[in-house]
Chains A and B, each alone.
Chain A
């Protein structure tokens, strides 16, 4: 099955207009030596019936989190997605469009993105927002790049409590330019602020702190960011956007740049991608921001309209001097976030955050009451937490999967000192019954022990 509409007659007409006999003659310019002689070894073309059948078959080798009770998080979450989100992002005028370079035909995307920029500024308290980076991890790397181009310093401070994969991405991005990534160690599950020494600050371009951090703990960002005051080292917060319904916006603590992952806002887990990365910052850094920005203007008749603006920062104009190489970004995922935030609204976002918090704390309290389960850290948390369970990970997985429970995540692989420490994520989707089943199962398993 292919999607070409040409009849043989039309092909002949077109070829004869060009003075060519066969389609293959269009390629006379390609040297014989590098022309493919044999047909490629690809499977025979499938009809739609066969294709759907085959892909359904493959998909069924996956276990959907909807058929289980999931406590998996760590940067990718099982939040509820209202049905309006898929309805809107499935509109062909949105999803089959390209980047809105031609603004007169792209007002739909452009206005949505302008609305998104407003919402992200509201959530984070910052002045300006771009219209997305690839994901949370690359938003951290791009923010670090931005800081380097602002103050020209060649070292980056990042807390050990940020997602290990985010740190890995940052290192991959920085290594070729010999920019040192210095990890601030943690103490009891939060950034050890005593380690953010003056000499370190002086030589560093920025300090990157997660909120909440990888363990779900709330960082004392109100005490950490002020340490930087008086230096030209940029304060970068990597935040969970949902938590901002409950938490003071990072701007209030002096953040220069705020980044994070937007999957939580209306995008499915989708095996970890696509989601999107957001980036908001102080207005004075506008010309250093990576990615696209939408601005309001008027048309020749005086009507308000929207365009991509400050494109002179971007690769297609500035080439090797651009603020970033990003071109295609994650627009449709941003549109999903925009619809999500508009749908749940001011009160709804607060209620969802509140329920995530309450569910997580209910589960935490019940779990740590079990003999053999202890709290690992003393910190306040949002909707993820870490506990010690006196079971090794294989054993634990086996016990829980019998009851249809997915997660928690074993932390030892990433933090070797955290043996038998497990990370639970609890969203608004988890019911009391589901959590009670987990509590009951662990209670029984540990009693037997």
Chain B
């Protein structure tokens, strides 16, 4: 049941009226563009009525699944509920219609919000100063690595390597390459944590730093973190915190206290701003006092007269990673979220995220292989190797879950687990939902014995059936071809 593309809806003869009628003095002005530069053939854009347009996108929205549709336990993505009040606030006229180059006097509210968000994030992480400029987690990583580069250059040697656990997000090594470093993988030990012996072998004078997610992508808090950060510091390296999993430990433990020098946060994960179908996000970077001189320009500061201002006067700054100041609209929602919850609410959110994960994990342990059975943090990884013996893959289980009305978990990540299924329920799901999910997972485990075909051909209840990804990569149809 496929819908036609917007280009296949019959075009109106003439465009609808969009603009006001303008006085003759303006409409008579000739468009005087040099012939060589002038467009001769209009781009083929759709030309349809408003009701048709709305129906088109309404149909499309019905073929999409969001947190507001149902349970979305996508590991590592923290798909928690996105509070509606924060959406409303972010649309306040005086937040939406402000220009980045207005006078500081005219944007005191925006600057205040950014300044205060910085202070709140410092308190939550223990860092001394944040920049809110990066647009996403990976953008924050890149910024953090640029700071590591600047720090070592100042000391006279950029150094060569950044160490990353083999369980890390793919963005970590990709960011490392973009910052001109070599990504060196350190193996995980038998408990899924950094292997200290292996780490020790890798550390030397060319180690610029180490990037670590804690809790890690397997869902475990690395209790050796103080040892790890000391080992890196001892060879002169810096320790970088990938904040993708902060949702487990808000108010419980601060990254700074674990020895981290640079921290990125994902406001679109931990602080409830919506993922928007893949963005916009926001990936602020927090650093220690020692590193704050390298932060992006401008920073937002408060002077002794109670006025907020943009500070460009930072000679050691690494510069800028995007135009203007950051994804401001996203910052508003994160700020509102923190003010709604307060310290108590943040603690409860973390605790219940961890409770939900452990409740699911223990229930599923009878039916699925659990590589690491101990108490986890906010997420955990199961493996479909028992099912694989019967020809069922993690992918089949994921697709079958759609038939029960759930969005599948993350699959095939982390790479160190065979047939990985990574589940993160978040704190905003109730026990009833978790119980229904458990029931579905148990039924799927049973189906893999008795009726494997139903899994291999899943999903059955979605509007579109299993899609052929190999064909897409082979045919490479990447746009509509006008006849």
Is B402's CB under 8 angstroms from A115's CB? no
**B368 touches A (CB below 8 Å):** no
7 further interface pairs, Cβ-Cβ under 8 Å (given A272-B99, A319-B170): A23-B352, A45-B339, A62-B94, A103-B464, A106-B63, A325-B142, A344-B18
B333 smallest CB distance to A (angstroms) = 10
Contact A29 B279 (CB under 8 A): no
Q: Could you tell me if B33 and A172 are in contact, using CB atoms closer than 8 angstroms?
A: no
Kindly list chain A residues whose C-beta atoms are within 8 Å of the C-beta of B100.
76, 269, 271-272
Q: Which 8 A-B pairs have the closest CB atoms?
A: A272-B324, A347-B15, A108-B64, A45-B342, A96-B66, A332-B276, A61-B109, A272-B100
**With contact pairs A42-B123, A102-B402, A165-B324 given, residues A286 and B31 touching in the complex (Cβ less than 8 Å):** no
- Which of chain B's residues has its CB closest to A301's CB? B465
**Residues of chain A contacted by B303 (CB below 8 angstroms):** none
User: Are A350 and B480 closer than 8 Å at their CB atoms?
Assistant: no
| B436 located at the interface, meaning its Cβ lies under 8 Å from any Cβ of chain A in the complex | no
Q: Is the CB of B53 within 8 A of A339?
A: yes
- Asked if B416 CB lies within 8 Å of chain A CBs, one says no
A and B contact pairs by CB, cutoff 8 A, 18 listed? A4-B428, A13-B431, A40-B124, A46-B339, A76-B100, A94-B277, A111-B63, A138-B322, A175-B146, A300-B466, A307-B469, A325-B138, A331-B280, A341-B45, A345-B16, A346-B15, A346-B47, A432-B23
Query: Across the interface, which residues of B come within 8 angstroms of A201, CB to CB?
Result: none
Classify the secondary structure of B's interface with A.
Answer: loop
The answer to whether the Cβ of A392 comes within 8 Å of any Cβ in the partner chain is no
Q: How many residues of B are counted as interface, with CB atoms below 8 angstroms from the partner's CB atoms?
A: 204
Of A27, A172, A320, the residue contacting B146 (CB under 8 A) is: A172
**A78 lies within 8 A of chain B by Cβ:** yes
Contact with A along B331-347 (1 / 0, CB 8 A): 01000101111111110
Q: Which of B45, B68, B82 contacts A122 (CB 8 A)?
A: B45
CA distance A333 to B278 in the complex (A): 10
Contacts of B355 in A (CB 8 A): 6, 11, 14-15, 18, 23, 26
Q: Is B190 an interface residue (CB 8 A)?
A: no
Which of A82, A245, A293, A303 contacts B464 (CB under 8 A)? Answer: A303
Contact with B60, one of A111, A344, A397 (Cβ below 8 angstroms): A111
Instruction: Contacts A52-B85, A286-B476, A300-B457 given; indicate if A107 touches B60 (C-beta within 8 A).
Output: yes
Write the nearest CB–CB distance from B2 to chain A, whole angstroms: 4
With A44-B342, A269-B98, A432-B22 in contact, do A327 and B171 touch (Cβ < 8 Å)? Answer: yes
B65: nearest chain-A partner, CB-CB: A105
Q: Are B18 and A39 in contact (CB under 8 A)?
A: no
- A23 — which chain B residues lie within 8 A by C-beta? 351-352, 355
Q: How far is the CA of A30 from the CA of B354 in the complex (A)?
A: 13
Cβ-based interface call for A231 (8 A): no
Cα-based distance from A104 to B400 in the complex (angstroms): 11
Contact in complex: A315, B171 (CB < 8 Å):
yes
Chain A residues near B275 (CB, 8 Å)? 96-99, 328
Contact of A403 with B by CB under 8 A: no
B98, A62: Cβ atoms closer than 8 Å: yes
Can you list, as one digit per residue, whether each of A6-21 has a CB less than 8 Å from chain B (1) or not (0)?
Answer: 1000110111011010
Say if the beta carbon of A161 comes within 8 Å of chain B. no
Bound-complex Cα distance A108 to B340 (A): 32
Instruction: Kindly identify which residue among B83, B280, B296 contacts A3, using a CB–CB cutoff of 8 Å.
Output: B83
A448 at the interface (CB under 8 A from B): no
Interface pick from B253-261, B383-391, B442-450? B253-261
Nearest opposing residue in chain B for A92, CB measure: B68
Is residue B311 contacting chain A, with contact meaning CB distance below 8 A? no
Q: A42-B343, A104-B459, A118-B479 are in contact. Are A328 and B268 (CB under 8 A)?
A: yes
Chain A: interface size category: 35 or more
Interface hits, A124-159 → B, CB 8 Å: 128-129, 131-132, 134-138, 145
Task: Check if A342 sits within 8 Å of B45, measured CB to CB.
Answer: yes
Check: B396 CB closer than 8 A to any chain A CB. no
Asked whether, in the complex, the Cβ of A358 is within 8 Å of the Cβ of B27, the reply is: yes
A residues in contact with B472, CB < 8 Å: 295-297, 306-307, 309
Query: A26-B355, A138-B322, A347-B14 given as contacts; is B38 within 8 A of A17 (CB)?
Result: no
- Give Cα A39 to B427, complex, Å: 20
A98 lies within 8 A of B74 (CB): yes
B416 to chain A, nearest CB (A): 13
The docked-state distance in angstroms from the alpha carbon of A322 to that of B181 is: 14
Partner of B479, one of A34, A128, A261, A303: A128
* In the complex, chain A residues whose CB is within 8 Å of the CB of B271: none
**Chain A residues, CB < 8 A from B351:** 23-24, 26
Chain A residues with CB under 8 A of B441: none
Q: Which residues of A contact B354 (CB under 8 A)?
A: 26-27
Tell me if B157 counts as interface (CB < 8 A to partner A).
no
Closest to A302 in B: B465
Partner of B407 from A42, A105, A432 at Cβ < 8 Å: A105
Which residues between 33 and 48 of chain A lie within 8 Å of chain B, taking CB atoms?
A: 33-36, 39-46, 48
Contact with A along B405-447 (1 / 0, CB 8 A): 0011010010000000000000111110000000000000000
B346 surroundings in chain A (CB, below 8 A): 40, 42
